Amino acid sequence: MGDCSIFTYTKNDFIRKVCCSGQQNRGRSRFDIALRSGWTEKRNTGLFRYRLDELETRVLPGSRGYIAQLNIMRGTERRKPQEILSVRQNFDPKQFNFNKINPKELLFELKRESERKCNVIINVSPLEFGHCLLVPEPEKCFPQVLTHLAVQTGIESVLLSADPGFRVGFNSLGGFASVNHLHLHGYYLNHRLKIESSPAELILPNLDLYELLDFPSGFLFYAQGPNLDLVVKAICSLTDVLVDRNIAHNLFFTRGCPPQMEPDTSSSRDGVRVIVWPRLSCFGAKEESAFNVALCELAGHLPFKNREDYESATEETVQDVIQKYLLPQDEIGRLKEHLKKYL
């Protein structure tokens, strides 16, 4: 890694072949070793707001295979979320931002050759093992609106991991982002998710844009080495439209199967699926003990902050809650027509 605080990589570091058949028997890349060992060291030195050990987990019965986890401390101990009033809210230097963290929370700087840097810092209120924040060019004080570098970093960090359980996500303002300073979340989840292999239908060939056919329906892009830059540009084109129309959104980056009409149950996870969910905006400060629908919940990973909700949840009740946060079908239809016309 060179200097212990800088992780430099090239495209040769991307892990091309990943298999998820043996979930417990995973490889470790140079990136995984740096992230996991650094994160564990920070945990052992008491930098987190609570100690996260193995979480109580259950798979909800049903076809969706929802992964429910109980994490009470995240609801009670984390920093109070900021009040959000618009998807396009300006950065406010007086509010908490990632330039104000304890320097010991920095794991390393992530840098592709001579390109711009991204800070990788621990999330002091973790939701799973390795939970970190990817903060592109923090000194530039970008608001929580995706940039080309942020999307590129999200995809490339997944490609740097040999573990199919390493996921990255993004919550926009109004989509339950807690801090208005550009960042993505990264963490390990030792379970398969249905969206890794859900079938999809091509709707915009010029952008390689697909629509997931399973609930909750979202837009899907698929990135492999050769088409990486094109996919990044296409994702930014879509999210720019959402920001312009003040539509909140969540993204999830995960190893997955190529898009196709039929579900793929093979164990190959060589590319990265990027799912974009346009959703209803939730403005104001979020209720921390509530079941807030953001990047994890839409992807099928359900962190619960109280035991009653964790034990009583069913696939049906979860889907009912998620449905309330999704854009109505007529709005999705209008958005698709707009995308076909302007993209």
What residues are annotated to the active site? 183
Q: Which amino acid is at 304?
A: F
The rounded radius of gyration (Å) of the Cα atoms in the chain is: 19
Q: How far apart are CA 216 and CA 218, in angstroms?
A: 6
- DSSP per position, 217-239: P-EEEEE-GGGHHHHHHHHHHHH
Distance of CA 226 to the CA centre of its chain: 22
247 closest CA partner among 292, 279, 283: 279
Name the phi and psi angles at 11, rounded to 5: -60, -25
Q: How far apart are CA 195 and CA 214, in angstroms?
A: 8
* Calpha distance 181→39 (Å, rounded): 22
Distance CA 81, CA 282 (A): 13
Measure the CA–CA gap between 331 and 299, rounded to whole angstroms: 21
Going by C-beta distance under 8 Å and a sequence separation of 6 or more, which residues neighbour residue 320?
none
Reduced to 3 states, what is the DSSP secondary structure of residue 88?
Answer: coil
| Alpha carbon distance 251, 259 (integer Å) | 17
Q: What does the alpha-carbon distance between residue 27 and residue 37 come to, in Å, rounded to a whole number?
A: 15
E strands, the chain, are 6-9, 56-59, 67-70, 106-112, 117-122, 132-136, 166-171, 184-188, 200-204, 209-212, 219-223, 248-256, 271-279, 301-304
Q: What residue has token string 């016309």?
A: 341
Q: Is 162 left (phi over 0), alpha (psi -120 to 50) or beta?
A: alpha
